[in-house]
Structures are given as C-alpha cells and as structure tokens.
Amino acid sequence: MSDPRLDHDGEKYRAPALAKGLDILELLAADADGLTQVEIAKELGRTTPEIFRMLAVLRQRDYVWLDKDDRYHLSAKMLEVAYRHPPVQRLLSLSRVPMRQLAHQINQSVHMCILHAGRLLVVAQFDNPDLNINTVRLGAQIPIYDSASGRVLAAFMDQEERAHLLDLAGPEPADRRAQFLADLPKVRAVGYCEGPSMTIEGITNLSAPVFDFTGQAVAALTTPFIRRLTGDGLPLLAEARTTLTTTCAELSKKLGFAGKESVLD
C-alpha cells in the first residue's frame, strides 16, 4: 500500500528547494554546451536570484562546474554516485571482463547502458582492437527514442513501468513515440534489438538485455556494428549478434537470472 503522505497529487509535502535543484540538474544533463545562470533561470521560469543560490550549492557540492564563459555544466559526480550504488557496482564488476572479451571477439566497440531519469546512461565501454573504431562516450546520456538500448530496456517493462519511463523521457513528436512503441513487441519476442542507427548512417545497432535475479532488465549491452572491408576472419553481423546475446545470457546468469521464460510469460 502506498504512503498517503507521499501522494504527489495531494502535494501535502513539498520541498521547493530540492525541486529547483533537481530541475537544474536535469536541464544541464540535456545540454552539452552548458548554460549561463540567466539561461537556466529563463528555461525553468525562475528568477535569477533563486537560481543563483541553487547553483552555488550545486557547485560547492561538485555537481556542476563553471567554465571561463560563465556557463554551467553538469559534472561527472552524478555518474560517480550511480557507480557507488551497490547493484550497479555488482553489475560493472561482473561485466568488465565479458565486455572486453566481446569487443575482441566481434572486433566492434561495445557499451553498457542503464536507465537514469528517463535517459540512457553509458556506465561501461570498451573499444575493439582494430585501428578504426566507432564508440559511444562513457558517461554519455542518450535519449531512449534514439537507441536500440532504449528499445531493449522498454520492451521488457510492464505497462505501468513503461508509461513512467515515457513520462520521464519527456515530450516527443507523436510519430517517433509511436514508432518506438511499435518496435517493442518484436524486440521482446526475439530477445534483442537490431536495426540501422538513428544517429549515424551505415551502422547497425545490436543490443540485448541483461536481467537480474528478479527477471528485470537492468542493463542493455550494445554494439554499433560497422562492416569492415579489410582484415582476416572478420565476424559477420549474424555472428556478432549470437556472441552478443550469449554474453548477455551469461551475465544474466551471474546476476541470478533463472531463465528467459519467466520474463516473457
């Protein structure tokens, strides 16, 4: 039973200062170039003095930093806090060796994402051994609608969880959201997502879920597959897909996952 004191509709208990601080963090997380104090206040519909106080505290606690042009940026502390969370620590400790081996076996870069505030957070990344690579930056935050990883994690949610994720992800054009939702049944049925990259032409994204002991998809392991024209024994897309899904299955077992059937029922 939910605690009526925490009923958001009733808003019996409010923490305006906390809400303002979180609004600032979420705004800066979505802007790669940083924002000035005036721009932040304008975006959030706040006054400059109240934003100044929030920014002063966030800067003091190292959640944001100020560049020479007086633009505020989100620091890496949020990522560090996420890493300290015990379930994430365990996931990363178990995945480092298998991910490195996967990158070498398929000669492709690989990265792992978890969900964070309605976006994907890249918490681990390994490059392939080849001279040419395509990779995703560690710590990057990616919109769910633009990725195979987002489809993988959303596909294995129940309806209520998925609705909450879409609310956190924010407004999107109706056609993009509709296409995202339309892709999920197939992803759930086959157990992985495969398709052209929505951000870079010529790349095929392969992504598969990692489940924990409760049957929840806690992470997505993804490779932006590029077809190489030179080299010996280069793995084909189908081989990379098999190796990727096998790695995810092995990681899931290490996390206590009993089997695919309990997730797909």
Residue 154's pLDDT band (boundaries 50, 70, 90)? very high
Residue 28 CA to residue 90 CA, distance in Å, equals 28
Helices (H) and strands (E) in the chain, counts: 10, 8
Phi and psi angles of residue 77, each rounded to the nearest 5 degrees, phi first: -65, -35
What tokens does 45 get?
């519909």
First-to-final CA distance of the chain = 26
In the block, residue with structure tokens 């077992």: 253
pLDDT digit string (tens) for 59-110? 888 888 889 889 998 887 776 666 565 577 788 889 999 999 999 999 999 9
- Which range is most confident: 13-17, 71-75, 140-144, 193-197? 193-197
Domain 4-75 and domain 81-264 have a common topology:
no
Q: What is the pLDDT of residues 205-233, one digit of tens each?
A: 999 999 998 899 999 999 999 887 766 55
Backbone angles phi, psi at 225, to 5 degrees: -75, 125
| Secondary structure of residue 134 in the 3-state scheme | coil
Give domain limits for the chain: 4-75, 81-264
Q: Could you tell me the two tokens for 123?
A: 């918490």
Residue showing tokens 């992803």 = 187
> pTM for this one?
0.69
**8 A C-beta contact, residue 151 and residue 183:** yes
CATH number, span 81-264: 3.30.450.40
CATH architecture, range 4-75 = Orthogonal Bundle (1.10)
The two tokens of residue 180 are 């995202």
